[in-house]
Amino acid sequence: MSDTVYKSVAELKGFSLKNCAPMPEPVKALMCPPDHYEARDERNPFAAGHAGRVNRPLARKQWVAVHDALVACGLEVVLIPARTGLADMVFCSNQTFAGLTPKLERLCLLGSMRYPYRRPEVTDFEVWFREAGYRVAALKDKTLTFEGAGDAIWHPGKRLVWGGCGFRSDAAAYGELARAFAAPVVALKLVNENFPQLDTCFCPLTPEAVLIYPPAFAAASLELIFRLFPVIIAASEPEAVRQMACNAVVVGCKTVILQRGAADVARHVAALGLEVAEVDASEFIKGGGGARALQILVY
């Protein structure tokens, strides 16, 4: 079970969340300033029609608000310098996947980005993680694509990873991830091109509850989610698309940093007893990322 990749409910025989070892919560968030940010990737469905239309002073103000919300949750926010020419580097969730091994060693698995123009970002993140004392690993199969924490998400408090595949990350990458972290992976197939990464449609809130946009998933993947999470919050299409409600930051299973305007999701999250901290990341939604995409939780 420690390095198995599960793709269907039938494969869960013998699997139990209760048997997954506990996982400490991250204490820091890594961010990259929006010094060179602009929406220019028309291949991203959220960015369509927004190329050259980012209000950069407003984007800076919104980035600071997300930063301050993370600090208010008790996280230390650390920064990686932005590099000229890398407009999407501000979206920190894609370049790497960070976590702990069973021996509590800090490990960073480098991403292998789908689009060549984003691959130079990974080098900067590799340097940062090495200098921060992480052991850094890369996929052995160089033909595979893997977009880091944009597609790989830790189950709250457990040594279990949820991995999205179908658009940006290859399913075969999760075998390598499972072995690297000695952690099981539940692989979810994404089928809606408007939600090309897992963190656009899947947000674990607590060990028992998750926020999802159901039409983003293949039927077998939805079955896995419903089998392992007793509580499901389904975002409506308007809130999943316009507010990117599922691209929220969850800190310590206590606070959810959520895009302002996702009123139904906010109400359901609050009903679970979680605090909702609303921010406005609308200038970054133009580029395909909400609050979660602007940071990666690290140790």
| β-bridge partners, 256 | 250, 276
In tens, the pLDDT along 91-129 reads 999 999 999 999 999 999 999 999 999 999 999 999 999
Q: Which of 23, 3, 296, 16 is nearest to 174 (CA)?
A: 3
Residue 247 has which token pair?
A: 């691209």
In tens, the pLDDT along 53-102 reads 789 999 999 999 999 999 999 999 999 999 999 999 999 999 999 999 99
DSSP 12-79: GTT--GGGSPB-PPP-EEEE---TT-----TTSTTTTT-TT---HHHHHHHHHHHHHHHHHTTPEEEE
Residue 6 has which token pair?
A: 């599960």
Q: Which of 178, 157, 151 is nearest to 250 (CA)?
A: 157
- Indicate the pLDDT class of residue 254, thresholds 50, 70 and 90: very high
**Assigned CATH for 5-11+23-298:** 3.75.10.10
Round to whole Å and give the CA distance between 203 and 255. Answer: 13
Round to whole Å and give the CA distance between 184 and 3. Answer: 5
| C-alpha distance from residue 217 to each of 103, 128, 135, 222 (Å) | 34, 34, 33, 6
In tens, the pLDDT along 8-49 reads 999 999 899 989 999 999 999 999 999 999 876 556 666 666
Do the bridges between strand 5-6 and strand 152-154 make them parallel or antiparallel, or are there none, so unpaired? unpaired
Round to whole Å and give the CA distance between 134 and 125. Answer: 11
Q: Which of 1, 169, 4 is nearest to 97 (CA)?
A: 169
Q: Which of 267, 255, 257, 265 is nearest to 292 (CA)?
A: 257
**75, 277 in Cβ contact below 8 A?**
no
Other CB atoms within 10 Å distance of the CB of residue 25: 16
Rounded to a whole number of angstroms, the distance between the first and last alpha carbons of the chain is: 25
- Indicate the pLDDT class of residue 138, thresholds 50, 70 and 90: very high
pTM of the model: 0.95
Which residues, at least 6 apart from 273, have a Cβ–Cβ distance to it below 8 Å? none
**101, 108 in Cβ contact below 8 A?**
no
24 CB burial (10 A radius; 0-12, 13-18, 19+): exposed
Phi, psi of 116 (to 5 degrees): -55, -35
**The pLDDT of residue 49:** 60
